[in-house]
Amino acid sequence: MPAASPATDVFLTPAALLTHWQGHRKLTRRVIEAFPDEQFRTFSIGGMRPFLAMASEMVNMAAPMVQGVLTNEWKRYVETEIASKADVLRHWDDTTTIMNDLWPRIPAARFQEAIKAFGQYEGRACDLVMYVIDNEVHHRAQGYVYLRALGIEPPPFYER
């Protein structure tokens, strides 16, 4: 990449990133809600996972990533199985609170440090956080296709 900007130049501040992320999470919550309970657990295209599995993965990545960046302790969010749309939504809202509580405590310099998340994913903390958000946007978009295939209008992508 040819771009070289000083390490002090800001594209996004940590506060802006949290706002961005929570905006995405608000939209993803609406996509989860748009599914009928049954299809949330079972509907699939092309052998892909049902949206329950994708949404459970998001729950297991978001708060644990924030917690891990803050404390360097890596653990799954939910040890028990997530089995329903109601389960996911409950954990979703708890996650929102946890993120808003923990994120501001992370020193800004930490985001530029090399870390190993969950004992295996190596990279700068900022890049690993971006990966979690990208993963959510990616799977949420697959939820959009599932909803369309089910004849259900998903919430507009641009509403956060």
Report the interface residues with a second copy, using CB under 8 A. 1-20, 22, 24, 45-48, 100-101, 103-104, 108, 111-112, 126-127, 130-131, 134-135, 137-142, 144-151, 157-158
CB of 82 to a second copy, least distance (A): 21
CB of 85 to a second copy, least distance (A): 20
- The answer to whether the CB of 34 falls within 8 A of the CB of 152 is yes
Nearer to a second copy, 1 or 80 (CB): 1
Query: Residue 95 is encoded by which pair of tokens?
Result: 């996650």
157: number of Cβ within 10 Å = 12
Nearer to a second copy, 87 or 102 (CB): 102
* Coil/strand/helix, residue 156: coil
Start-to-end CA span in the chain (Å): 31
CB of 34 to a second copy, least distance (A): 13
- The answer to whether the CB of 62 falls within 8 A of the CB of 103 is no
CB of 30 to a second copy, least distance (A): 14
